[in-house]
Homo-oligomer: A and B are copies of this chain.
Amino acid sequence: MPTGKPHVSVFIATSLDGFIARPDGGLDWLERANADVPPGEDCGYQAFMASVDVLVMGRLTYEKVLSFGEWPYAGKRVIVLSSRKQVRPAPYPEVVESSNESPRQLLARLHAEGCRHVYLDGGLTIQGFLREGLVDELTITSIPILLGSGRPLFGPLSTDIPFRLQASRSFAFGFVQNTYRRSTS
């Protein structure tokens, strides 16, 4: 692992069977679960976001976010990983850049630019960074539903990756949120 790189965090919700979306990308199950969350409770999302310098996401996730209509990352630098030269412009184009760098190249550049904390989003992007051993922290919020199929958070690895449990909390509405740090042992 490079000695100089930003801290890389994942902050994501999954079904009990480990899916982040239905096979077609659908999030209806998550939206329905969120409807039970009391107003003002964001399960730590804003505090997490406040600590983040740069969002890095795959193109599929980016397109999904664009489809929400409202751009949720105003004022935050966003990098979309894509092999295409151009990605669709965001409502706030000044903060969205595309990149076709490798995970390692991108993190080295961001480190050189002074970035300290990257928020990594999107299943395939997270899987790619995990395979390279570049993810430092996982915050996973488990939603109490089995979907049976969908887009998995995790994918194949060439080796085990041990983590340390950093924090665990449950919510009255049934979510459980665990934060894991990459184990150094």
Contacts and interface: CB of A to CB of B under 8 A. Distances in A.
Nearest to A162: B145
Given A18-B17, A168-B168, A161 B145 contact: yes
Copies of the polypeptide in the assembly? 2
Contacts of A142: 178
A113 to B, nearest CB: 29
B163 A157 contact: no
Contact of A176 (B146, B160, B168): B168
Interface stretch (A50-58, A77-85, A92-100, A147-155): A147-155
Q: Which of A17, A146, A156, A180 has the most chain B CB within a 10 Å cutoff?
A: A146
A144 interface: yes
A164 interface: yes
Interface residues of A, number: 35
A165 interface: yes
A91 interface: no
A177 to B, nearest CB: 10
Interface of A: 16-18, 29, 130, 138, 140, 142, 144-149, 153-165, 168, 170, 174-176, 178, 180, 183
Sort A-B residue pairs by CB-CB distance and give the 7 closest, nearest first: A148-B157, A168-B170, A17-B154, A165-B174, A146-B161, A144-B163, A18-B18
Given A144-B162, A147-B157, A148-B157, 10 more contacts: A17-B154, A145-B161, A146-B160, A146-B161, A146-B162, A146-B163, A148-B159, A164-B174, A165-B170, A176-B178
